[in-house]
Structure 1
Amino acid sequence: MAASGGAVRAEKRVERTKRKRREKEPNALKEEEEEQGDVFAVSAFFLVVVRVQRQLELLARVRHLNVMSLKAYVRDADRLSLVYDFVPGGSLEDVMKRVRSQQVSLSWDTRNRIAAGVAKGLRHLHFECNPRILHCNLKPSNVMLEEGFEPVLADCGVARLIDSGLPDPESSGSLYAAPECYQSNRYTDKCDVYAFGMILGVLLTGKDPADPFFSGESGRGSLARWLRHMQHSGDTKEALDSSIVGEEVDEEEMVMAVRVAIVCLSELPADRPSSDELVAMLAQLHSF
């Protein structure tokens, strides 16, 4: 299903609800069930200006194991609804919250697999799509988990339909945004790589970037700065999530993964790897 062109403006909220419980919020991620029993996720936005047709058609052509496919899009008056396959495993953000509260455990192998899948999804968007697609809002809540913790990137490129495409400085997405996003008001593939570095940092440390710890002197102001400080002081192992350090895994492999996260979090975009290089770097971890 196609919609006429248009730019989109929205303060995105994410919720799940059955069709019979129509939510009043203008923007929501809904679980909708057809008569046949198929379940989809519907992300809805308000349209403000026209000219999104080409971007939507591009997003609808994306097919990759680690990227959520846009199944359909519908324009209804000034409202745009994007339809995706529903992923029952929830988001990485949900899982990490449960890990922090010790409701579930997540092994290093699983975290490593999630990171590798996210990187492969980015590589597909950046190098295998023509024209390339920038995610523009990569964060744990936009990493959905299939059965077996296979990651699927959600809302790829959708932020480019919303105003400037930059995360709201007051939103959780801003914690994963590269410094240059707000300094130059430009978004490049290296911004997606920076966001990946943040996600890898979360997987390795188990910490939430919004934790008040990072506001204090010990936290150095942010997860990225804290990781760099821990590496420079020779305390990289101390930065690792204690729940995975005791596992029968090669700690040196995890330390190398921290270094990958740190290079992705480089202040200068030119110092960050491409997503293609990133996939190769993660694949090499097992050889150390």
Structure 2
Amino acid sequence: MAVLAYRYHQFHKEKNDIFVDVAGEDDRKFSLGQLRRFSWRELQLATDNFSENNIIGQGGFGKVYKGILSDNMKVAVKRLADYYSPGGEAAFQREIQLISVAVHKNLLRLIGFCTTSSERILVYPYMQNLSVAYRLRELKPGEKGLDWPTRKNIAFGAAHGLEYLHEHCNPKIIHRDLKAANILLDDNFEPVLGDFGLAKHVDTKFTHVTTQVRGTMGHIAPEYISTGKSSEKTDVFGYGITLLELVTGQRAIDLSRLEEEEEVLLLDHIKKLLSENRLDDIVDGNLKTYDRKEVETIVQVALLCTNSSPEGRPKMTEVVKMLQGIGLAEKWAKWEQLEDAMKQDLSLMSRQYIWAEDSCTDQEAIQLSKAR
């Protein structure tokens, strides 16, 4: 693999060291493996000088623009904001390092990059159908939504992509921000996992990575929030929440639910409906037809993936099998037993609390009724 001179930061240190020269704008184009280096001028022309009309996404990382290269190839141009901050520069390096190494049909392919004294830009293929989140919740009139077979295919494709990152990359890669907004759809609505700005390598000698908590609320595993420890099991949790997004079309957190119930989190809302045997009420109202058995399978897999204990969550290799119905029945029966036991414990604690509270009240009444 070619070695490029990089002025300040080292990308990766394994068998080969990969560096990138950021000495300034360079109009030459060359490859790092299959990566292409773009000049600032090329991308400026491709995006109509980064026109606001070409914005197709944005977040804390910056903005993504639709662009058309001189050879008429459509691209998505990710222009990082505040790259000069430690987090911004690290995100740029991380995304090049990881996404150029991980190659799978369900992972977004990095075409190339551009570096100047003041810019860090990543270039990807343009995904004609944007993101799963867009197709679920942000459609414009006349645009095509996601039917049930497509949603099921997205569930499988995302599972295969994560399985590849966890089981077939060495060292393994954890995504750390899996959600419907980060699953993109190509011309044929095939899913690819994108946005590796928060991803990390995990050395197989260690079971977790301790770091500052990053990600999207509602998708973050409880142990990651409480301890700062992320692992492949935090990805499994995020995948489970994403499955619930696919089935319901809803966001992971929705404050509007407070008007009718206490469950702001989609996960709690689904558990409540399932306990009341209201599976059909879980399904997105925009779905006119769906396979009830397949919906049940995906909801069950989602709840197994979102087990509060990371040890209780399946590996992605197991998830792929369970989506096919292999081994799901036994794991689901065990999950139901544990849920029932937990509810009984909570009920017992609640009764004990009420009894203790009543006892205290009675004692206070007795004290107040004594002769003074």
TM-score by length of structure 2 reads: 0.64
What SS is found at the alignment partner of 1:28? strand
Task: Return the structure number with greater relative CO, CA threshold 8 A, min gap 6.
Answer: 1
Partners in 1 of 2:268 and 2:325 — Cα distance?
A: 25
Task: Pick the aligned partner of 1:266 from 307, 312, 320.
Answer: 307
Partners in 2 of 1:88 and 1:139 — Cα distance?
A: 19
Partners in 2 of 1:77 and 1:116 — Cα distance?
A: 42
Partners in 2 of 1:211 and 1:77 — Cα distance?
A: 41
Which deviates more from structure 2 when the two are superposed, residues 181-190 or residues 208-217? 208-217
Report if aligned partners of 1:143, 1:151 keep a CA contact under 8 Å in 2.
Answer: yes
Which deviates more from structure 2 when the two are superposed, residues 147-156 or residues 101-110? 101-110
1:229 aligns with 2:272: yes
Name the structure 1 match of 2:324: 283
Task: Show the 5 A alignment for 1:120-199.
Answer: 120-156=160-196, 158-160=197-199, 164=212, 166-167=214-215, 173-199=216-242
What SS is found at the alignment partner of 1:174? coil
Report if aligned partners of 1:215, 1:222 keep a CA contact under 8 Å in 2.
Answer: no
How many residue pairs align between the two structures?
Answer: 269
Task: Pick the aligned partner of 2:77 from 36, 39, 42.
Answer: 42
Output the amino acid matched with 1:30: Y
**What does the per-residue CA deviation read over 1:88-112, in whole Å, with 9 as the maximum and x for residues that have no partner?**
1111111001569896443211110
What SS is found at the alignment partner of 1:255? helix
Report if aligned partners of 2:255, 2:264 keep a CA contact under 8 Å in 1.
Answer: no
5+ residue gaps, structure 1, are 8-16, 168-172
TM-score by length of structure 1 reads: 0.80
Q: 1:38 to 1:242 in 2, by over 3 A?
A: closer
Alignment RMSD (CA, Å): 3.2
1:65 aligns with 2:100: no
What SS is found at the alignment partner of 2:108? coil
Report if aligned partners of 1:197, 1:262 keep a CA contact under 8 Å in 2.
Answer: yes
Displacement of 1:53 after TM fit? Answer: 5.1
Name the structure 2 match of 1:27: 62
Report if aligned partners of 1:70, 1:82 keep a CA contact under 8 Å in 2.
Answer: yes
5+ residue gaps, structure 2, are 12-44, 53-57, 201-210, 330-372
Report if aligned partners of 1:159, 1:165 keep a CA contact under 8 Å in 2.
Answer: no
Report if aligned partners of 1:18, 1:30 keep a CA contact under 8 Å in 2.
Answer: no
**What does the per-residue CA deviation read over 1:167-202, in whole Å, with 9 as the maximum and x for residues that have no partner?**
2xxxxx222222222211222111111111111101
Displacement of 1:164 after TM fit? Answer: 3.9
Partners in 2 of 1:28 and 1:64 — Cα distance?
A: 25
Output the amino acid matched with 1:31: K
Name the structure 2 match of 1:10: none
Report if aligned partners of 1:227, 1:262 keep a CA contact under 8 Å in 2.
Answer: no
Displacement of 1:140 after TM fit? Answer: 1.5
Report if aligned partners of 1:213, 1:219 keep a CA contact under 8 Å in 2.
Answer: no
Q: 1:99 to 1:282 in 2, by over 3 A?
A: farther
Displacement of 1:47 after TM fit? Answer: 3.2
**What does the per-residue CA deviation read over 1:61-96, in whole Å, with 9 as the maximum and x for residues that have no partner?**
221111001222333235422221111111111100
Report if aligned partners of 1:67, 1:153 keep a CA contact under 8 Å in 2.
Answer: yes
Report if aligned partners of 1:62, 1:70 keep a CA contact under 8 Å in 2.
Answer: no
Output the amino acid matched with 2:135: V
Q: 1:80 to 1:100 in 2, by over 3 A?
A: closer
What SS is found at the alignment partner of 1:133? strand
In percent, how many aligned pairs have the same letter? 25
Partners in 2 of 1:197 and 1:184 — Cα distance?
A: 20
Displacement of 1:118 after TM fit? Answer: 0.8
Partners in 1 of 2:141 and 2:221 — Cα distance?
A: 28
Displacement of 1:219 after TM fit? Answer: 5.1
Displacement of 1:18 after TM fit? Answer: 5.2
Partners in 2 of 1:42 and 1:3 — Cα distance?
A: 24
Partners in 1 of 2:5 and 2:217 — Cα distance?
A: 29
Q: 1:253 to 1:20 in 2, by over 3 A?
A: closer
Q: 1:37 to 1:281 in 2, by over 3 A?
A: same
Output the amino acid matched with 2:85: V
Report if aligned partners of 1:74, 1:81 keep a CA contact under 8 Å in 2.
Answer: yes
Which deviates more from structure 2 when the two are superposed, residues 94-103 or residues 187-196? 94-103
Name the structure 1 match of 2:114: 74
Displacement of 1:48 after TM fit? Answer: 2.7
**Which entry has the higher C-alpha Rg, 1 or 2?**
2
